Amino acid sequence: MSSSFSVIATDRGILPFGGTVDETPIYRAHNSFLELGQQATIEPCDMSWRTKIAFTLDDVLSPEECSTLIKLTESMGFNPAAPGIQTPPGMRQNQTVHWIANEADTAEIYRRIHSYLPQNIDGMTLDRRISQRFNTYRYIDGEVFKPHVDGDWPGYGISESGELETWQDSRSMLSMLLYLNGEKEGVQGGDTILFDERRERHRITPKAGRALFFRHGIHEKSVVHAGDRVIGEVPKYVVRINIMYCPYRLV
């Protein structure tokens, strides 16, 4: 597995309880981890309220694909430092590895989910691709992610010369949290909680292949959420992927 990835860039990493680590690696996957063209049966569940967009899609990835992804990220190595992430000390309590997925894999995920995504949000239209940057998190016993909103990001990919590039013609508007394991694999706790004016509105249980989507950005339509405490010996694995939107004229 070690030959299937390499370091493509580094960035200053933020530690969970304060402090930084220079040159925290961002990796690039060289090989595909998905079964391309798989005809998955997606199960949607809408949890939106008022101006808040939130929904889940089950079975976006198969259990076998999730297992492969866990093994890949474990080979890369999880790190307390999160490259390019700005969180206050004590908010993010987990380990992470950030990497750029193979373009064929992100195209396959887009193929599986695009018909379930909002096609237009606030004058922006769904891009034809999702960001290739996969921010993967591992939670062990006692770890949490305290209530917060996700910021918006540019899209990331790989240039023709093989370097990390950011996309200038689109911006993320939805977070996609892709769970790689859950209760069936022995995970205890670790629910994602969505809040409505500081009250719990929804609680999403991790399940391998389940994806949770919600609005993000620094504005009133963004969904406040938290990762509940993980209990026991089995870590929880989840990937944050950004869903991209762009002006109508660019699509």
List the one residue out of 185, 181, 167, 160 whose CA is nearest residue 242. Answer: 167
pLDDT digits (tens, 9 = 90+) for 44-88: 999 999 999 999 999 999 999 999 999 999 999 999 999 999 999
pLDDT recorded at residue 248: 67
Q: Classify residue 92 by its DSSP letter.
A: B
The residue written with tokens 């959420």 in the block is 225
User: What number is the average pLDDT over the span 122-127?
Assistant: 96
Q: Does the pLDDT of residue 189 top 90, yes or no?
A: yes
**Beta carbons of 94 and 137 less than 8 angstroms apart:** yes
Is 2-250 assigned to CATH 3.30.428.10? no
Sheet containing 199-204: which strands, arranged edge to edge? 145-148, 224-227, 192-196, 199-204
Q: What percent of the chain has pLDDT over 70?
A: 97
List the one residue out of 224, 239, 227 whose CA is nearest residue 54. Answer: 224
Residue 232 is which amino acid? G
Alpha helices of the chain — where are they, by DSSP H?
63-76, 103-113
pLDDT recorded at residue 2: 44
